[in-house]
Structures are given as C-alpha cells and as structure tokens.
Amino acid sequence: MVTTALGSSRLWATVGQGIVNEVYWPDTGSPRIRDLGFIVADDKGWWVEVKLGKYLVVTREAYLPPAKVVHTVVREGKDCELSLEFLPDPDRDVLLVRYALAGEGLRLYPLLASHLTQDGWHNDAWVDRGLFAAAGKDALCLLGEPGFRRMSVGYFGHSDGWQDFNKHGRMTWEFGEAEDGNVTLMGELEGSGGVLALAFAHSREDARAPAERSVTEGYGSIRECFLAGWEAWHDGLSMSRPRRTADELWEMAERSAMVLKVHADRTYPGATVASLSIPWGETNNDPYHFVWPRDAVETGFGLLAIGEFDSARQLLDYLAKKQLPDGHWHQNFHPTGQPRWTALQLDEVGLPILLAAKLRELDELGSLDVTRMVKRAAEFIEEHGPASPQDRWEENDGLSPFTLAVEIAALVAATSWLDTSARKRVLAKARSWNEQIEEWTYVQKTRLTDKYGVDGYYIRIAPSVRVKHGSLTIANGGGTWCAEEIVALDFLYLARLGLREVDDERIQNTLKVVDGELKVVTPRGVAYHRFQHDGYGEQTSGAPYSGSGIGRAWPLLAGERGHAALLCGGDRTPYLEAMVRMSGPGGLIPEQVWDDNPPSHTPPHRPGGPTGSAMPLVWAHSEFLKLLLAPDQRPLELLEIVTQTLVNPSTPIPPG
C-alpha cells in the first residue's frame, strides 16, 4: 500500500507484509522510519506480527488509498486476529494506526525502528510519557491511546525489543534512553484496542504536540476528513470510462490515478518520485524515492490521461526550475533538487519538451512559460546527440531507438518556441537524424533474422554511429554479447512518437523478433523482459537481487506492447488485463513479476506475481492509464507537429 492525506500535512506512508514500512516526511524523498511492526504475546509465548500467518488487505473504493490489514493465525488451537488501519492526518504530520487484537490473554507490543538519518545511525531515543527519537533537529514521537503500560528503547540487534523477547520470551527490559546509534522503540499497550499516533517535527520539543492533538481530535473525525479530501479529488477528475471497459480494468484505472496523486510532493510542488519503495529492501538500500525526469514526464502524461492538467503543469514547472544551466537534467535527484546520480541520459533531456508540447497542443499550457527550458534543452540535444552516454535503462551508451525517437521528436516539437533561423537549423538536424535511424540501429543477415524469417530488425542499442555489430556488455553480471543480437521493445517509440508507421515492415519484423525473444507467458498474463541476458532481478533461487541476478518480466512493458496493438487497431485488452492481474495484494503494479517455476527461496514467488522489485512503479501505473484511455488508436504522446513535419517535409512550422 501507499497512502497520504490530501491536506496540509507532509507525510506519506507505505505498507508491506501487513505492517508500516517507510514513513516519508517532510517530503517524498525522506524516509524517516524503517518499519513499525508488532509483537503479540501471551503467558505461553510470543510471535512477530508479520509472521503470524495469513493477512487480508481490506480496500474501500479503488480511488481511495487502501487502509486496513487483518492478520489471522491459529496458535495452539486458539484463534488470533490483529486488525490494523492506517490513517494519515490531513492537517498534521501524523500517522494514526488503529489497532484491535482479538484473542484470549493476548498483549500487543508496537516495535518502531527509527531512521531519522539516511542510514539509520546517529539517532537518539528516550522515554518520556511516550516513545521518542531524534537526530539533529528532527524528531518523532509515538503515543498510544489509551497508552502504554511499559516502554523501552534500545539499540538494534543488541538491546531492542525483539532481542528482549528472543532472549527472555517476554518484555523484561525498560531502558529509558539510547544515544547516538541505530535505535528502536517498544512499548506494551494498554488493552486490546486503541490508536497509535506517530508524529514528526523539526525539534525535539515539538514532536509530542501534533500527536496529542490528533489523539484529542479523535480517529473518527480525522478519518472523515481524510475520506472527504479524497472523494473531492476524485469527483473533480475528468476521467471518463471507455465503453465496454470491464470493471477490473476501470478499478485499476481509478487506483492508478490514486497512485499518481499519492506520489505528488507537497513540500516541493510538482516533484514526483519514481516510487515510494525500496526494491529488495530487506537486503538492499537502493531506493526509488528520487525524481527521474523520465519517470516524472511519464507520470505527467498519465496525469494528462486523467485530466489532471493543473498537476501536469505543476510537474513541468518543477522540472523547468530544476534544469541545469546548460539545458540538461541530472539523471535523478532528491525532490529538493540535490543530485543523486549525475549521468547523462538524452531521453531525459527530450521528454520534458514533449510534455510541454503536448500541453500546448491541448491548449492546457496556460500561463506557464517554458520557452527558456525548451530552448536550452533543444540546444543541448542538438549539441550532444544523437548518441547518449546512457540509455533509458541506465546501463549502456550508444544509439538507442527509444532515445533517438525522443530526441528527434523533441527537436521537432521545440521548433514552435524557436525563432526562424534556429527553427530551420534544429529541424534540419531532426530530419537528418531521422533519416539515419536504420543506418544506425537496423541490422540484417544475423542469426535472429534466420531464426524468425525476417529481413532485419531494430537492435536495443548500437555502440556508436559507426558500429552496430560490435560487442555490448550488459550490466549486473549480464555478460558481453554481440550488439546485433540484443533486442528490446524500445523501438516501438519510433511508431509511438510518429517517426515511423506501425505497419512499416521494419517495425513489424522487429515485433516478431521481440515477441520471440522477450515475451513471457505467465499464469496471470503476458509480460516482457527488457532485453536478453538482463541481470537486474532475483536470483534463480528467488533470493533478492544483490548486484547481479536475472532480469524478470516487466508489466510496464506489457503496456508498451499494448500500445503497438493500439496503433495497429488491434485489441489492447489482453495487455491491460495482464497488468491488472500481475498486481500485488493491494492492487499496486510492480516493476517486475516472477517469470519462472516457483523458486526454492522462502517465501516463494508466485509465477506472474510481484517480485521484491519496486512496487508500485508509478511509471507502470501511468502506462496503464495511457493505454486504457488513449483515444482513436492514437498514443497520448503522439504530437501533430511531429507527424506533420516528418511525414510531409514541406509542412511549415508555426512560429512561436
């Protein structure tokens, strides 16, 4: 689950395995806890809540963030049920957790891992009529209503609550302070039902107040306000249900719209992180809570699909403000704009131009002036293209059909903002590159042309403008292979952005090769690998990705393949259905799904079900919306100015 309230609060929460995982505050790039779980105990023993057994995710309407999990287990012939409901306060930086424990003689112990610093170290913790932690000026407070019988703080792996139970079978420690370390907080709750309030503040002295105010106002009142905010947002959407759309598809559309809204930052309006998740977080620390310009623009197009024009403009305005002086963007960055990775990906330079042009084409750019952004980005592409130091998968340099398509379409789209001389120069460059796409990336007479009986096909990436038959080293332990034998769905953007017709023989040839090499049929539907020999995914055993592995199938790419069906006038429904059925228990679309037999790893992944990769992947939810809501066989990203200019070279470009 992912959840936030639509109000003045600056708090976002995620739920996994039935407990709270990260809580982000005061922006979507700052996780402040590792998890908030529970220990259940009686006089005979204890057990950790995430290991209780089965749990049920309870949802309301698809457009509302799901809020409730019910855990059930039978222990020594006795039934135990723990119900948890998660509620961000719309008016305060507080997460409320309503709990109810059913079972004779049972006691409940919340266990909180504070990570107020990025790595979790150098935190202080203490007890003072509640549980507290702080790092520098930032602090958190955990209060209970009716409250705690006993409380303790300690160091993770040494004196934390789990260690206490593991050594003694019950809570024996009541430590009042733990300084400068990786700290945890635990308490024994009064009674079997009540509310926890987890609050955040920028001072140790101020952390208690918002928690107390939320508890005083009452869970019921805050819940009504939370639901009213989401209902009002949903009622304001201009998203209309296509005819003959099955209920499961429309539910996913409404849920996807909600996922896009949840990921919108309020501290830095317009900032949209790739995912409020940490892939393989039990062993990895490579989070997705950063802004990638590519993922952000894909989200922007998703916002256009549901009629959220104000949000799309805000996102574009944010990107314009984070553009570097020379015209490009960092590979990714914190919502503040502070860079994380600084590699250059030219598709991330072109995509903001395409979003600006689409808003302009829809007459929804409003008063937003992006002239400077567009000019600088176009000049950067003109100077540094066509080969990109990294492709869209952030692994290889060279000429990728995807990046080429974005660069060329962006240059053409930019001409509406340029003066006459610059327009002619940039357009000439775009047409020149367009004419050389096949020379750079289309191969013939290879092992795969013989295998699939085709004349040729577009490769994933050519190492340089002069070499498309050289070697390609695939990251994450994928090995070194002949570039001419590595394919990807990336080429479909040549048709999706209007550079080639979908019935072009070269497009159709490549579809045959890609379907043969990358398509995976799972019990839940069809998905696609990124490319052969991909190493970004779980191990063969199902163990988490650890710098190398086997790239699994991506539901996102089922959506991209569905766009090819859309362009051909075919049926996109099977691809949409696959994306729905590959979602997790809370209806979120994962980055990858398991595409092999059930592995030996425990717990086993289910074929077609989510792996430990990012979930949700916001880009995947955007892709679903764009595919379902695309009108008249026309992808949302397709621009009139591009199709008219490249199909008919004599077409004049309108002045800016």
Name the DSSP letter for residue 537. Answer: S
Nearest to 590 by CA among 625, 561, 552, 627: 552
Q: What is the pLDDT of residue 597?
A: 83
Q: 358 Cβ partners below 8 Å, 6+ apart? A: 301, 304, 636, 637, 639
pTM of the model: 0.96
Res 652: pLDDT: 53
Give dist(CA 321, CA 342) in Å, integer.
17
Domain 237-647 CATH (choose: 1.10.760.10, 1.20.1250.20, 1.50.10.10, 3.30.310.50): 1.50.10.10
Give pLDDT, residue 656: 46
Where exactly does CATH 1.50.10.10 map onto the chain? Answer: 237-647
How far are the Cα atoms of 12, 123, 131 from residue 118, in angstroms, in the given order?
Answer: 16, 10, 20
pLDDT score recorded for residue 630? 94
Query: Would you state the structure tokens that stand for residue 83, as one six-digit string?
Result: 């119900």
Q: What is the pLDDT of residue 650?
A: 53
**Which of 143, 126, 124 is CA-nearest to residue 135?**
124
Please state, rounded to an integer, the average pLDDT across all residues of the chain. 94
Q: 467-476, pLDDT tens digit by residue?
A: 677 899 999 9
Name the one residue in this structure whose structure tokens are 């990895």. Answer: 284
CA distance 81 to 71: 6
Q: What is the pLDDT of residue 636?
A: 96
Give the gyration radius of the chain's Cα atoms: 26
Task: Please tell me the distance from the alpha carbon of residue 223 to that of residue 414, in angstroms, as a whole number.
Answer: 46
The CATH code of domain 2-233 reads 2.70.98.10
**In this predicted structure, what is the pLDDT of residue 52?**
59
Contact present, 335 and 386 (Cβ < 8 Å): no
Task: Give the residue ranges of DSSP H helices in 57-200.
Answer: 161-168
| Helical ranges in 187-337 per DSSP H | 208-217, 219-235, 247-262, 293-305, 309-322
**482-491 pLDDT, tens per residue?**
999 999 999 9
Domain with CATH 2.70.98.10 in the chain: 2-233
Q: What would the DSSP string read from start to end of 388-421?
A: BSS-TTSS--BB-HHHHHHHHHHHHHHGGGS-HH
Q: How many Å apart are CA 287 and CA 248, to the nearest integer?
A: 30
Confidence (pLDDT) at 585:
86
Say if residues 93 and 201 touch (Cβ distance below 8 Å).
yes
- Those residues of the chain that have pLDDT short of 70 are 50-53, 74-77, 465-467, 648-656
**What's residue 601's pLDDT?**
74
